Amino acid sequence: MSKNASGFIVVGERANITGSPKFARAIRSGDWGAALEIARQQVAGGASIIDVNVDEALVDGEAAMTRFLNLVASEPDIARVPVMIDSSRWSVIEAGLRCLQGRGVVNSISLKDGEAEFLRRARLLRRYGAAAVVMAFDEQGQAVTKADKVRICSRAYKLLTERAGLAPDDILFDPNVLTVATGMEEHADYAVDFFEATRIIKATLPGARVSGGISNVSFAFRGNNPVREALHTVFLHHAIRAGLDMAIVNAGMLGRYEAIEPELRDRVEDVLLNRRPDATERLVALAGDLKARQAAAADGAGAARQAAARETWRDEPVGKRLATALTRGADAFVEADTAEALKTLRPLEIIEGPLMDGMRAVGDLFGAGKLFLPQVVKSARVMKRAVALLEPLMEAERRGAAASRGRVVLATVKGDVHDIGKNIAGVVLACNGYEVHDLGVMTPCAKILSEARRLGADLIGLSGLITPSLDEMVHVARELAREGFSTPLLIGGATTSAIHTAVKIAPEYAGGVVHVLDASRVAGVAGALLSDGRERFLAENAAGQARLRGEFGARQAARKLLPLAKARTNAERVDWTRADIAEPEFTGVRVFDKVPLAEVIPFIDWTPFFSAWELTGRYPDIFKDAKTGTEAERLFADAQELLARIGREELFTPRAALGFWPANAEGDDIVLDAGRNPPVKIHCLRQQMEKPAGHRNHCLADYVAPRASGRRDFVGGFVVTAGAGVETLAARLKAEGDDYRAILARTLGDRVAEALAALFHKRARDFCGFGRTEADGGGLSREKHRGIRPAPGYPACPDHTAKRDLFALLDATAATGASLTETCAMSPASSVAGWYFNAPEAKYFGVGKIGRDQLEDYAARKGWSVAEAERWLGPWLGYDTA
* Residue numbers annotated as active site: 416, 418, 469
Please give the Cα distance from 94 to 105 (Å, whole number).
Answer: 12
User: DSSP state, 615?
Assistant: -
State the sign of the Cα–Cα–Cα–Cα dihedral 482, 483, 489, 494: negative
Which residues contact residue 653 at a Cβ distance below 8 angstroms, ignoring those fewer than 6 apart? 594, 722, 723, 724, 725, 817
Please give the Cα distance from 458 to 442 (Å, whole number).
Answer: 22
**Amino acid letter, 529:** L
Please give the Cα distance from 721 to 820 (Å, whole number).
Answer: 12
CA distances from 264 to 189, 220, 261, 271 (A): 19, 16, 5, 11
* CA neighbor of 873 nearest in space, from 414, 469, 467, 474: 467
Q: Which stretch of DSSP H or E encloses residue 172?
A: strand 171-174
| CA end-to-end span of the chain | 26
CB 666 within 8 A of CB 406: no
State the sign of the Cα–Cα–Cα–Cα dihedral 319, 320, 321, 325: positive
Please give the Cα distance from 353 to 802 (Å, whole number).
Answer: 55
CA dihedral 730, 731, 733, 735 (to 10 degrees): 160
Which residues contact residue 140 at a Cβ distance below 8 angstroms, ignoring those fewer than 6 apart? none
CB 247 within 8 A of CB 175: no
Chain centre distance of CA 182: 38
CB 410 within 8 A of CB 438: yes
User: DSSP state, 106?
Assistant: E
∠ CA(488), CA(493), CA(496), 5° rounding? 80
Please give the Cα distance from 770 to 786 (Å, whole number).
Answer: 8
Please give the Cα distance from 177 to 193 (Å, whole number).
Answer: 9
**Amino acid letter, 813:** T
* CA neighbor of 5 nearest in space, from 339, 326, 299, 367: 367
Strand duo 459-463 + 49-52: pairing: unpaired
User: Per DSSP, which regions of 16-140 are E strands?
Assistant: 49-52, 83-86, 105-109, 131-135, 137-138
Q: What are the start-end ranges of the H helices in 273-370?
A: 279-288, 290-297, 300-312, 318-328, 334-341, 347-350, 356-367
Q: Which stretch of DSSP H or E encloses residue 92?
A: helix 90-97
Please give the Cα distance from 828 to 724 (Å, whole number).
Answer: 6
Please give the Cα distance from 355 to 389 (Å, whole number).
Answer: 13
